[in-house]
Structure 1
Amino acid sequence: MVTENQSHPIYVVAAHPNWRNSHVNRQLRQAAASAEGVALCDLYESYADYAIDVQAEQEKLAAARLVVLVHPVQWYSMPALLKLWLDEVLSYGWAYGHGAKALQGKDLWLVASTGGPEASYHPQGYNRYFFDAFLPPYEQTAALCGMRFLPPMVLHGAHSAPQADVESHVATFAERLRSYPEWPELAELESTATCDVPDADRPAGSASAPLQGDL
């Protein structure tokens, strides 16, 4: 499903392999779907066959000012279809690389949930690292595309979170969508890092491959 409204260009890409069993992400998806001026792509509904319409997705991204990734954390990363979406849609020569400016100056916001509680993301916890240790791939993806990575919104312990906490989380998410780009902290964020990929690092014929493909 893709819904859109061009009056306020926010593109929400939601990925959950099983919405029926979602305690948090289903409500975030519903909040995005009902938010005015937000275009929503439910990846597992739109591309259940994993055949992504790259041109259509690139058009949505090009029209947006803010791109939001909404997903549960699975094995310290994103669901498989969202990873495929990144591989195919953020292509060399369009999203990054020589002359690629399609996403330059836009914002990328991660809205994620974890099954483990926040205390588990600690050197003494069973996840062994603070949650920030798992964010560099997102941050660097944004930087390579010339985007600004906004502070993530994360709900820990989603499996057992009290309904009041979930409702508060969803309400904050909805308010953020409504108020963007009037977020006080945005004025304090540093400008996007410059990450130029030399042409020599991309052999001829590799334009459609992921960043580290063909190794």
Structure 2
Amino acid sequence: MQTLLIISHTFWEDSKVNKALLESAKSLPNLTAHNLNVEYPSGAINVAKEVELLTKAQKIIFQFPLFWFSTPALMKEWQDRVLTHILYGKTPKLLHGKSFQVITTLGGSKDSYDGHHGYNLETILTPLTSTFRYCGCEILEPYAIFSAKVDSLPIQEYLSHLG
């Protein structure tokens, strides 16, 4: 199965955790790692290129650190540009039958996302999962790395979610 790992991080240059995760993923077969911050430093997304990558993938993963209960701005821009093009263009069923998963890193502990602030992690991720479900994807359970620190990353567990 071909997996497309789409990564974004608002502060990519300073990232430690997501850079380490990405580095560990690069050796996997059948995985295309696609860093939006490196590919589009100006924020101008090449929609045709993104559609080509999505066409080849059977599994799509969004990986990002959760900031302020949301994705990085560039990942949201990707959604607006690419998904709008797909749904209202010539290939509205492009994502049908593919699977979608979120992998997120969080600075807080697991109990910080148990709902006591009003929303649990599943609820916070609902805009993403609802969007990709609407696009025809099977939604896989998200994988979250809580209290993420570069020296204690669960690399093997992370890699198991990429296949």
TM-score (norm 1): 0.69
CA distance in 2, matches of 1:64, 1:70: 15
For 2:112, the equivalent position in structure 1 comes to: 120
**1:19 offset after TM fit, Å?**
3.2
| 1:175 partner amino acid | S
Code of the residue aligned with 2:61 in structure 1: it is V
Q: What is the CA-CA distance between 1:31 and the residue it aligns to?
A: 2.1
**Does 1:32 pair with 2:25?**
yes
Taking a change above 3 Å as real, the CA distance of residues 37 and 162 of structure 1, as seen in their structure-2 partners, is closer
What letter corresponds to residue 107 of structure 2 in structure 1?
A: G
For residues 15-26 of structure 1, what are the structure 2 equivalents within 5 Å? Answer: 15-26=8-19
CA distance in structure 2 between the aligned counterparts of 1:171 and 1:107, rounded to whole angstroms: 21
User: 1:100 — aligned with what?
Assistant: 92
CA drift of 1:98 comes to: 9.4
Choose which of 153, 158, 163 in structure 1 pairs with 2:151: 163
Higher helix share: 2
Task: Say yes or no: does 1:111 pair with 2:103.
Answer: yes
Q: Which residues in structure 2 correspond to 1:68-87 (within 5 Å)?
A: 68-87=61-80
Q: Does 1:149 align with 2:139?
A: yes
Q: CA RMSD in A?
A: 2.1
Q: Contact 1:120–1:128 (CA<8 Å) still a contact in 2?
A: no
SS in structure 2 opposite 1:91? helix
Deviations 1:86-108 (A, max 9, x none): 1101125x246997211100000
- 1:57 corresponding residue in structure 2: 50
Matched, 1:130 2:82: no
Q: Shift in Å at residue 143 of structure 1?
A: 1.2
How much has 1:46 moved relative to structure 2? Answer: 0.5
What is the TM-score normalised by the length of structure 2? 0.89
Alpha-carbon separation, structure 1, partners of 2:110 and 2:160: 23
Give distance in 2, aligned partners of 1:62 and 1:95.
14
Distance 1:48 1:57 in 2: 15
Query: Are 2:15 and 1:41 aligned?
Result: no
What's the secondary structure of 2:34's corresponding residue?
strand
Task: Give secondary structure in 1 for the equivalent of 2:84.
Answer: coil
Letter in 1 for 2:20: Q
Q: What amino acid maps onto 1:22 in structure 2?
A: S
Identity of aligned residues (%): 29
